[in-house]
Chains A and B, each alone.
Chain A
Amino acid sequence: MQDLHLLTVAQTADLLQAKKVSSLELAEHYLARVNKHEGLGAFLACKPETTALAAKAADAKIAAASSSNLAPRLTGVPIAHKDIFVTKDFVTTAGSKMLQGYRSPFDATVVTKLADAGMVTLGKLNCDEFAMGSANENSFYGKVQNPWDTSRVPGGSSGGSAAAVAAGLAPAATGTDTGGSIRQPASFCGITGIKPTYGRASRYGMVAYASSLDQAGPMARTAEDCALLLSAMCGADLDRDSTSLDLPPEDFSRGLNDSISSLRKLQGLRVGIPKEFFADGLASDVRTAIDTALAELEKLGAKLVPISLPRTELAIPVYYIIAPAEAASNLSRFDGVKFGHRAADYKDLSDMYKKTRTEGFGEEVRRRIMIGNYVLSHGYYDAYYLQAQRIRRMIADDFQQAFKNCDVIAGPVAPSVAWKLGDKDRKPLDDYLADIYTLPASLAGLPGMSIPVGFGEGNMPVGMQLIGNYLQEGRLLNAAHQYQLATDWHTKLSPLMTGGAA
């Protein structure tokens, strides 16, 4: 079969269970495509022998299964992991020179859970260094291209994940989202991605950026696929992640088709439209696509409710104080002693630290460490760090006010479509400002997702963001799935996906 990469996760799983395709065939097909599209820059590491072994084991599990004893649904389905999840079998770099060649002695919990669900790892995916970036231009191992237009960025920090799925190099990928790093690249690459409620997925084995914000989630082509993957990824990890929520496992696929009306599938759903997400700064092409999508939700029975999230703009300074403060602390462990890069020549211990860290960290990472240590230093802690935390609470409270009048919140993911790679006129601050619509939900710890809803300038994909209240992932996925049943934006394929068989 030549077109295996056009299948969704759900379709792939069905073919595997029906024994119409083997996991080994799938793995070989995808790895051939990874090789063919090496120039995209999406993959950092593959180990075909390791992948083949896992695929054969999955095939054996399916062969041994019977109608009364089925193999888990995702058995044999390939997946690739953002290189921020540590893996025993593959090198983990977090996109940094600091971790070049790093071999983890253990697997991240998310990686273990997906392997336990039977999924087969294809390899590791490029990302911004330590997940710091909005364009995947900050990786030590090179930029990633957008499969829709290879002269543009794929978004970040999970840019390799989004590009791999959009180019048909993997049917699914893991991502992490600290300030929008799943939703924004999903939007830029025309795929579906969800960041669950903070604490749903274990952070154990995720290279830490900002611990009070980092959260793992799946990236795939449909909401149905994301529901399957999210169900396998989430779950309490009480001994290994002190912030893991102590909740029973949840099957996010179960409610995908829930509806009180058989005709109007979103009958009664109140969709909050924050006016601040549609203010100056939102590009008109993005706005047009989002307005059309909102009208579609209305057609499905949803009621649009005007709401206000008055501190949306403040989310930018608040996030860019809190995240660098946490990053500066987390990244202090990179000192050239226990793992990672160490400078070749140095005078003494202090000189070794400085040379090691200056050589090992890229420019954006060094900048955030500087900001973080400054706002945590004596005399500035109250004025910046604590002030940011106070406004963070106000932002979280604003959402609770809003959710009194709506069930989900909808708006754009990003103010524009994907921009050009290597744009010399863009300053670091421009990228920070472009995170405006994803940061508020991150600061509050709320679940959020991106679904493709059309195309803007340059025929580049536009994503719509859906934000839910805590633990309401099922409601988000239900709304997204119903939207995808009624529309076909999520079925549009990038030129790299359709451009000839592997």
Chain B
Amino acid sequence: MALSQQDIVKIANLSKLEMPAAEADKMQTQLNHFFDTVEQMRAVDTKGIEPMAHPTHAMQDAVIGHIQLRLRPDVASEPNHRQANQQSAPAVERGLFLVPKVIE
């Protein structure tokens, strides 16, 4: 299975990346080259194997025993850092982030 130019344009759109035709060509070649090498993986029989999203799962089975994935209590832990948090924002006015008009 090979990716078409159309696929490339669609993925670029999902990725919020610009994809002019010249670059789409190059990207198509590179991604198809990449997915060729991925084919060996698709042939592996993985019936009955539970997907492993995270090493903590394997660690738990192997040695450590039960690992509690935590949730933090839902309370404010920090005071207001608005100024520090906005110091690297591209556009701020009166303590608000500025974005282009979304609703006409």
Could you list which residues of chain A lie within 8 angstroms of chain B, going by C-beta atoms? 101-105, 197-199, 212-213, 238-239, 242-243, 245-246, 313-314, 316-318, 320-321, 328, 332, 335-342, 346, 348-350, 352-355, 357-358, 361, 366-367, 369-371, 373-374, 377, 383-384, 386-394, 396-397, 400, 427-429, 432, 443-445, 469-471
> Which A residues lie within 8 Å of B101 (CB)?
348-349
Could you list which residues of chain B lie within 8 angstroms of chain A, going by C-beta atoms? 3, 7-8, 11-12, 14-18, 27, 30-31, 33-34, 37-38, 40-42, 44, 46, 49-59, 61-64, 67-72, 77, 81, 84-91, 97, 99-102
> Which B residues lie within 8 Å of A357 (CB)?
15-17
> Which A residues lie within 8 Å of B68 (CB)?
246
Distance (Å) between the CB of B27 and the closest chain A CB? 6
> Which A residues lie within 8 Å of B18 (CB)?
354-355, 358
Please, could you name 13 A-B residue pairs with CB atoms under 8 Å apart, sorted by A?
A242-B69, A243-B69, A317-B38, A332-B16, A339-B90, A342-B90, A355-B18, A367-B30, A377-B14, A383-B42, A384-B38, A427-B30, A432-B37
The contact of B62 among A316, A366, A470, by CB within 8 Å, is A470
Distance (Å) between the CB of B83 and the closest chain A CB? 9
CA distance A357 to B50 in the complex (A): 35
> Which B residues lie within 8 Å of A391 (CB)?
41, 44, 46, 49
CA distance A91 to B12 in the complex (A): 30
Q: Is the CB of A352 within 8 A of B11?
A: no
The contact of A371 among B7, B34, B49, B97, by CB within 8 Å, is B34
Q: Is the CB of B46 within 8 A of A390?
A: yes
The contact of A212 among B54, B71, B85, by CB within 8 Å, is B54
Distance (Å) between the CB of A402 and the closest chain B CB? 12
Given contacts A102-B88, A366-B17, A396-B58, are A337 and B31 in contact (CB under 8 A)? no
Given contacts A242-B69, A358-B18, A369-B15, are A338 and B63 in contact (CB under 8 A)? no
> Which B residues lie within 8 Å of A428 (CB)?
30, 34
> Which A residues lie within 8 Å of B27 (CB)?
367, 370
Q: Is the CB of B14 within 8 A of A339?
A: no
Distance (Å) between the CB of A42 and the closest chain B CB? 24
> Which B residues lie within 8 Å of A104 (CB)?
88
Distance (Å) between the CB of A69 and the closest chain B CB? 32
Q: Is the CB of A370 within 8 A of B46?
A: no
CA distance A336 to B17 in the complex (A): 13
> Which B residues lie within 8 Å of A346 (CB)?
100
Q: Is the CB of B70 within 8 A of A242?
A: yes
Q: Is the CB of A445 within 8 A of B56?
A: yes
The contact of B31 among A354, A371, A384, by CB within 8 Å, is A371
The contact of B40 among A317, A393, A396, by CB within 8 Å, is A317
Q: Is the CB of A400 within 8 A of B49?
A: no
The contact of A373 among B11, B62, B88, by CB within 8 Å, is B11
